[in-house]
Chains A and B, each alone.
Chain A
Amino acid sequence: MGNFYTSTDHFALMPALVLALFGCAGLFFRRISGVAMLLAGELFTGIALWRQLQAGTINAFNGGLVIDGLGLFFNFLFVAAAAITGLISYRYLDIEDEHHPEFYGLLMLAQCGMFFLATGTDLVTLFTGLELMSVTFYVLVGFLRESRRSNEAALKYLLLGAFSSGILAYGLSLFYGLTGTTKLAPMAQALAAIDVTHPAVLLALITTAAGLFFKISAAPFHMWAPDVYEGAPTPVTAYLSVASKAAAFALLLRLFLGPLAPLRDSWQPVVTVVAILSLTIGNLAAVTQSNIKRLLAYSSISHAGYILLGIAAGNETGLRGALLYTLVYTLMNLGAFLVLVAMRRQNLPGETLEDFSGLMRRSPVYAVLMLLFLLSLAGIPPTAGFVAKAYLFLALVEAHQYVLAVIGTVYVAVSLYYYFRIVRAMFAGDAKPEAPLAISWGIGVSTVFTALATLGLGLWPEPLFQWVKGVTR
C-alpha cells in the first residue's frame, strides 16, 4: 500500500476536481452566468488535461486511476461536447421557459462521471463514474418539468438505465468473485490464467457486455434510445448521444481491451453480431421516421454499430478507427443537433421533417450547414465522416473481415436515403412563413466550430491520425 493521497494522485484527479467544483458552483448560477461558469470550468479542465497530456502516462491511487492517451483522448472529446452543449442551451431553455440554475452544473457533474469512465482502472471507480453520469442524465432528460414527453422519457430512461446498471454490476461483481480483485491490471492476469469456457466466466462476460451495449445504445439493447432521445430537451439529447455514448465506449474499451482481452474469442463474435444488428436495425428503422430526433436516434444506433465494427475488426487499425469514428461522430452529430436546437422556437417544436421544409429559403446558411453534417453522417467525401468510415473499412479489410466490410459499405447507401429525406425537405420543400431560427451567439459559435471541424478533418485528417496513433501506441 502506497501513500493515501500523493501529489501525483492530486494531479491525476485535477480535471475531475475542477469539474466537480465548478459543477457544484454552477448549480447557483442562471442563464448567461451559468454558461460563463460552465465555460470557465471547461477551460480549467482543458488546462488540467493539457498539463496531463504533457506529463505522459500517470498511474494514480494505487492503480485505481490512469491518465493515459486513451483517457485524455476521450476527456478532450467530453470537454468539447459539454462546452458546446452549454453554449446551445441557454436560448433553448429560455424558449422552454425552464431556466434553472442546475442545468449547467448538471452538465459538468455528468462530465465528471465521464472522466472516471475514461480514466478509471478499478471496477469500483468505473462503476461510480458510470452511476454519477447516469443519474445526472436521468435528471437532465426530465429537465422540462411541464413536458409530459420529457417526464416520460426520464422515467423510461431511469427504469431501463437502472436495470442495465444492475446487470452490469452483476457482471462486474462476478468478475470480482472470479478473480478476487477490482483492479483491472491484476484482474487481467487472473483472467489470463482462468479457464475461459467456465460457465461463470461466460455469465459474467455476457452480463457485462449486455450492460455496456445498453449504455452505448447498440441493438438489441437500443429500445430506450428513440423514446429518450425524442423526449429529452434537444441539447440534452445532443449531449446524451455523443458524450454519454463516447464515455460508455471508453468503459467498453477499458474492459474489453484490458482484463477481458484474454476472453477475446468469446466476446468478439458477440461484438460482431451486435454491430451487424445495430447497423441493420438503426439504418432500417430510421428510414421511416418523420421526427428528426427519432431519426437521429436510430442513426446514432447505427453509428454505434460502426464503432463496434472497429472493435470487431480486432486489430490496432480497428481500434484507431473506432476512436477516430467516435470523435468524428461527436462533432458531426453535435452539428446536426445544433441545427435542430436552432429550429426550436416559441410555439414551434421544430422537430419534424415538415418543420425543415423549405429551410433553404428561410435560412440558407443553416440549411447548407445541416447538409454538410448530414453528408458527413452518411460518409460522403470530403467530410470527416468519410475519412472515419474509410478508416474503419480499411481496418476490416486488414483483418480479413470482408463480409463485415461489405455490410458496412452497403449501409452507407441506406443511410444516405434517410439523411437525404431531410435534405430533400430542406431544399425542395415549400417554405412556410415562419419565425426565423432561434440563433444565439452560442449556437453561432458552436456551429462554426463543428462545421469547420467536420469539413476540415475531412480535407486534412493527418493531425487526427497522428493523435489517434499516439493514443493507441
Chain B
Amino acid sequence: MLARSLPMIGSRRSLRVLEHNALVYRAQWVMLLSGFFEPLFYLLSIGIGLNKLVGPLPVHGQFISYAKFVAPGMLATSAMNGAMIDSIFNTFFKLKISHVYDAILATPLDVTDIALGEVWWALARATMYSASFIICMAALGDAGSAWVVLCWPGAILTSLTFSCVGLAACTYVRTWQDFDLVTLVQLPLFLFSGTFFPITLYPQWLGEIVSFSPLYQSAALLRGLSLGQFDWIMIMRAGYLLAIALLGLYVAARRFKRILAP
C-alpha cells in the first residue's frame, strides 16, 4: 500500500541503470578500488593511533577498547561518505552536465526507473565496501563480537539512507560551487554524531539535537550490532533510517520528474 502511494516504485528496467553504472565504473576501476582502501585508512589512523591514547570506554556498563568503540562509527561514516559522494556528484553530473538521463528517457525507462536505478547502484557498492570494511575490522581485532556480521546489513541500510538523501539533495544543486554547502552539512554531521565519542559527554540539550542525526542513529545501531548488545531501540533506529530513505527517494523522484520531464 505504501508502495502504491509513492510515485517512485519504478520497474525492473531500473536495473539497467545499475548495469550502465557498472559499465562506466569498469573504465574507472581506480575509483572503485579507492573504496576498498578508504576503510583501511580510517581504521589504521584513528583506531590504532587514538587507541593508544584513549583508555577503555563504558558502553552499557561494559568497558570496551576505544578501537572497538570507534570502528562501527567509522563504518557508518564511510557508508555515509561513499553514498553521498556518489549520489550527489555523479548524479549531478549526469543530471545537469552530460545529460545522460535525457538520453535514457528516450528509452522505455522513465524518471522513477532512473532514480531507483541509482539507488540500486548505491546499494551494490555499499554491499561490497561495507563487507571489506567489516573484514578489515575483524582482522584488526576491532570487532566487538561475532555479531559484527550484522553490521553488514546495517551499513547497507545506512548507505540506502544517505544515497536517497544525496539523490534528493543533488537535484537542488545548481553549480559546482553549491557542493561547498554539501561539505558544510557533511562535516559537522561527521564530527558531532557521536562517531568518535559517546554523546553522553554532551550537555543534554545538545545530545538531544544530535540524536536526530541519521549518522548518529546509524553509528549507534552499528555499535550495538558490533558489540552484540541488542536493544529494542535498535529497531527504532533502523526504522528512522528507513523512513529518511523513503522520504529522500520520494523527494528525489519528484524532483527528477520536474527537471527531466517537465
Tell whether A and B belong to one assembly. no
Which residues of B line the A interface, CB within 8 A? none
